Amino acid sequence: MNGAAARPVLTSAILLAVACGMVLGLLALTDPSELLASLSRARPGPLWAATCLHLLGSVLRAARLQRLLDRAVPFLRVFLVANTGNMLNSLVPLRAGEFCMAFLFSRDLPGGGGEALAKVFADRVLDLVAVTLLFIAAALFFPP
């Protein structure tokens, strides 16, 4: 495998390592017996349903982002980068995940970082539109 072909694999491996490290770090902050007790009380049906819906949402958001990127980036890379950005947004202030995603996509796009940042911003605008439409639908169907 030459250097250019190894770069996406290396980037994916680094992203996976960072994600695993963050999960392990969060697990280190919890009491294992309390975690196991909470998990034993959880009903598996709703837990699996929520997990599947979350995964479906992540896949659909990554597919939308890949389409915004004009399919210039492979889906698996878009999926990993998008979820890494979302994880960073949850853990780091100032929406650093968007800048991380733009940085990671900058090498894949002909316009570089500016194009990547614009497309990530467009993706977030589409998120805002979707949430706004859901809010309007909820307000219409479930009045106070």
pTM of the entire structure? 0.75
| Domain assignment present for 8 | no
| Domain assignment present for 34 | no
Can you tell me the mean pLDDT for 74-82? 94
Q: Is the pLDDT score of 78 beyond 60?
A: yes
| Domain assignment present for 108 | yes
| Domain assignment present for 37 | no
pLDDT digit string (tens) for 39-67?
A: 899 999 999 999 999 999 999 999 999 99
Instruction: Report the domain count for the chain.
Output: 1
Q: Is the pLDDT score of 12 beyond 80?
A: no
| Domain assignment present for 23 | no
Q: At what angle do helices 96-106 and 112-141 cross, to 10 degrees?
A: 130
- Would you list the DSSP string of 12-79? HHHHHHHHHHHHHHHHHTS-HHHHHHHHHHS-HHHHHHHHHHHHHHHHHHHHHHHHHTTT-S-HHHHH
Domain range for 47: 43-141
Q: Is the pLDDT score of 32 beyond 80?
A: yes
The residue with tokens 């958001």 is 61
| Domain assignment present for 85 | yes
What is the reported pLDDT for 26?
84
Can you tell me the mean pLDDT for 102-130? 94
